[in-house]
Amino acid sequence: MSPTGLSEILKDLNPPKDKNLLVGFDTADDAGVYKLSPEIAMINTVDFITPPVDDPHWFGLIAAANSISDIYSMGGKPVTALNIVMFPSKQLPLEILKEILRGAHEKVIEAGACLVGGHTIEDEEPKFGLSVSGTVHPDRVITNAGSQVGDVLILTKPLGSGVLFNAARAGKLPLSLLEEDLLPSLAALNGAAMEEALQFDLHACTDITGFGIIGHILEVAAGSRTRIRLPYSSLPFYAEAEAMYKKGVSTLSNEANRRLSHNQLQLKLSLSTQAEELLFDPQTSGGLLFSLPASQGQELLDKLHQRGITSATIIGEVIPGEIGIEVV
């Protein structure tokens, strides 16, 4: 569903009033957080996707990493997971579903969580994801609404997965090419990156997924009531992403993501149509976006690179001004 349509629906739902609800749906954050005791808060999230590629094992790996990411982005530790399965069992062999579940289970185990069950229904197209619960100290919850003027923004994975997946579906990119770089990156858990970031004065965090880099940074800007400057040249993109836009490949989400920015996005440089489209490209299992003091940015970046997260880069800064984003 488009972000604008979703916002229209949610605006008429009154946020619940509960002193123990630390993060609800009113701030468009990555997960809900509920305080259970002075020492423990529970994080709840759910996410499921259609197959990004035709390989069921990769589908399971990526879908699970995508679902678990929301626990990490709130500063938490994943504890339990439930499978959410929609599968056309009359059209596709059950061996395919077995491979999806195998990939997901591998990723849940890698995250140190426990798979405790799930739910399955018949559907015309496979869809898969997880409902994940995690824990965090109530005083150490990281939200998308704490960014401060003077912060820098660090992104841990490149952008452009949406158009690359559509290019593969259209036969314009072989799966073998995606397996070299894109798929391992998307299947990588964001836990190690968050583990490093939590050693610093982390003001805000979110993961970059379906709304694209602009959509998710706008959520940070709106929640924090800040303005964010992004030098376009600092944004990391997967190889071939811009080339696929030049070949006429796009995604159904691009236009909806563009509308989401309304008048809160200022492009202060001239970009080709294809380069501009990358700003609205929807991501699956994207990287974490960290907002922290500029004085700590390079040190965190060095730590991330030492952990093997070599795509991590500083992509912008938080500046004084009206709520929004300027791309320079």
What's the pLDDT band for 28 if we cut at 50, 70, 90? confident
For 151-327, CATH gives: 3.90.650.10
**Nearest of 158, 156, 164 to residue 52 by alpha carbon:** 164
Q: How far apart are CA 64 and CA 104, in angstroms?
A: 5
Instruction: Give the whole-number percent of the chain exceeding pLDDT 70.
Output: 99
**4: pLDDT confidence band, cut at 50, 70 and 90?**
low
Question: Tokens representing 4?
Answer: 């604008």
CATH number 3.10.20.600 given to 3-140: no
Say whether 123 counts as a known binding-site residue.
Answer: no
SS3 135: strand
Average pLDDT for 261-288: 95
Q: Is 29 annotated as a binding residue?
A: yes
User: Which string of b and e fits 264-290 if b means at least 16 CB within 10 Å?
Assistant: bbeeeeeeeebbbbbbbbbbbbbbbbb
119 is in an annotated binding site: yes
Indicate the SS3 state at residue 154.
Answer: strand
Q: Which of 244, 98, 83 shows the shortest CA–CA distance to 160?
A: 244
What is the structure's pLDDT at 228?
98
Mean pLDDT of all residues in the chain? Answer: 95
Report, as an integer, the average pLDDT of 183-203.
98
Res 8 pLDDT > 80: no
Please check if 80 is assigned to a binding site.
no
For residue 10, pLDDT over 80 is answered with no
The answer to whether 203 is annotated as binding is no
Residue 12 marked ligand-binding: no
For the beta carbon of residue 77, count every other beta carbon within 10 angstroms.
16
Q: Where are the domains positioned within the chain?
A: 3-140, 151-327
| Nearest CA-CA partner of 31 in 23, 21, 22 | 23
Secondary structure string (H, E, C) spanning 71-99: HHHCCCEEEEEEEEEEECCCCCCHHHHHH
DSSP state of 200: S
Q: Answer yes or no: is 47 a known binding residue.
A: yes
Residue range 202-244, pLDDT digits in tens: 999 999 999 999 999 999 999 999 999 999 999 999 999 999 9
**The dihedral formed by the CA atoms of 106, 110, 111 and 116, expressed in degrees to the nearest 10:** 40
The pLDDT tens digits for 119-136 are 999 999 999 999 999 999
Specify the pLDDT at position 207: 98
